[in-house]
Amino acid sequence: MTNDTAKILEKLKKQEKEEGKLPLLLEFYKKLLQIQSRAQQRFGTPALALSHETIQKRLQNGRPLLRFNDLDLDWSLVQDVFAGVAAAFAGYPQLFGEIPEKLRKPEGGRLLTKKAAEAWFTGKELPRKIRDGVGENILQAMIQATLQPFLAGYARALIDSVEQESWRRRYCPICGGSPDLSFLEKEHGARWLVCSRCDSEWAFQRLQCPYCGNQDQKTLAFFTDDKELYRLYVCEQCKCYLKAVDLRKSEPEILLPLERFYTLDLDAQAREYGYGPYLKPVAGTEKKP
């Protein structure tokens, strides 16, 4: 995952060259990636002093490794990135509607206060100052895009401490985010989830809904395309869906974050069947059986 951003940018540039122009959403995504890649470079590799004991204790208790207070961020950099991200969204009203002026102004970056970021990180209601007059989903997406390069930096530093076989929970072992994509790994076809916030990957049961925990096989299903490259997992209990890429069938150099955009047909299909995406950025703590 280290050089994913650079690789994705390269692939998009190649596609743009071949096709003359990128589809609008990918053009937007390319701009976003450029902002995120600059943020990543300025941020560098975070130093996080978590002792071996703390790591073990958090994981054993089912707690993600990163707490908000562990994040050591240069807030003026974060706010700069937020201003850039908001401008990128504002450049595509065809995709996102009109972005309110308070966010389009360069000083709009300051609306993403530490308090607002903490509320987002922990899944609480955002402060009124940033939330008022802005669509909830768009705002969530903007904050997510802003914090992604920072969280992904921490994720790279921490993911090797996670013992995959003993985690297997419905939320990310690094940041606690919920998954928005999955893949079946090459060797045995085991299912792995991908975090919607930091792009960490973790192993998860194939026959369980990662959103509501449902394990009743009669109410879980999946659809595949003709080439069986993609799967659409659906759950009758919570009516949510999850897309999956089958790496046993895909080309070797697949870039998962980009697959989110290459599989928009699947999202449309899921909606047609009456399923929706899971919209909470922070998955709930697992209920005790």
Considering the rule CB under 5 A, would residue 175 count as an interface residue with Zn ion?
A: yes
Pick between residue 23 and residue 276 the one whose CB is nearest to Zn ion. 276
Query: Smallest gap, in angstroms, from Cβ of residue 281 to Zn ion?
Result: 10
Residue 238 beta carbon to Zn ion: minimum distance, rounded to whole angstroms? 3
Closest to 149 measured CA to CA, from 35, 261, 21, 285? 35
- Choice from 214, 241, 246, 283 touching Zn ion (CB under 5 A): 214
Does position 181 interact with Zn ion (CB under 5 A)? The reply is no
Summarize the chain as % helix, strand, coil (round to 5): 50, 10, 40
**Which of 30, 197, 231, 243 forms a contact with Zn ion (CB under 5 A)?**
197
Distance CA 38, CA 23 (A): 23
Q: Is the dihedral of CA 94, 85, 266, 259 positive or negative?
A: positive
Q: Which stretch binds Zn ion (CB under 5 A): 5-13, 39-47, 169-177, 181-189?
A: 169-177
Shortest reach from residue 119's CB to Zn ion, in Å: 17
Among 65, 145, 152, 172, binds Zn ion (CB under 5 A): 172
Residue 289, token pair as written in the block: 């059986």
Q: Does 278 bind Zn ion (CB under 5 A)?
A: no
CB of 68 closer than 8 Å to CB of 121: yes
Stretch touching Zn ion by CB under 5 A, among 33-41, 90-98, 100-108, 238-246:
238-246
Stretch of 67-75, 85-93, 236-244, 246-254 contacting Zn ion, by CB under 5 A: 236-244
**Per-residue contact flags (x/-) with Zn ion for residues 64 to 83, judged by CB under 5 A:** --------------------
Binds Zn ion (CB under 5 A): choice among 40, 79, 144, 200:
200
Edge-to-edge strands of the sheet including 220-224? 201-204, 191-195, 179-184, 241-246, 230-235, 220-224
* Complex with Zn ion: residue 111 or 278, whichever CB lies closer: 278
What type of residue sits at position 242? L
- Window contacting Zn ion (CB under 5 A); options: 2-10, 116-124, 177-185, 271-279: 177-185
CB atoms within 10 A of CB 35: 21
Q: Which of 235, 244, 270, 282 binds Zn ion (CB under 5 A)?
A: 235
Q: Cβ distance 92 to 122 under 8 Å? A: no
Residues of span 109-168 touching Zn ion by CB under 5 A: none
Is residue 173 at the binding interface for Zn ion, with CB under 5 A as the rule? Answer: no
What letter represents residue 172's amino acid? C
Cβ nearer to Zn ion, comparing 26 with 172: 172
Nearby residues of 244 by Cβ (< 8 Å), 6 or more positions away = 181, 182, 183, 184, 191, 222, 230, 231, 232, 233
- In DSSP terms, 231 is beta-bridged to 224, 244
Residues that bind Zn ion (CB under 5 A): 172, 174-175, 177, 195, 197-198, 200, 209, 211-212, 214, 235, 237-238
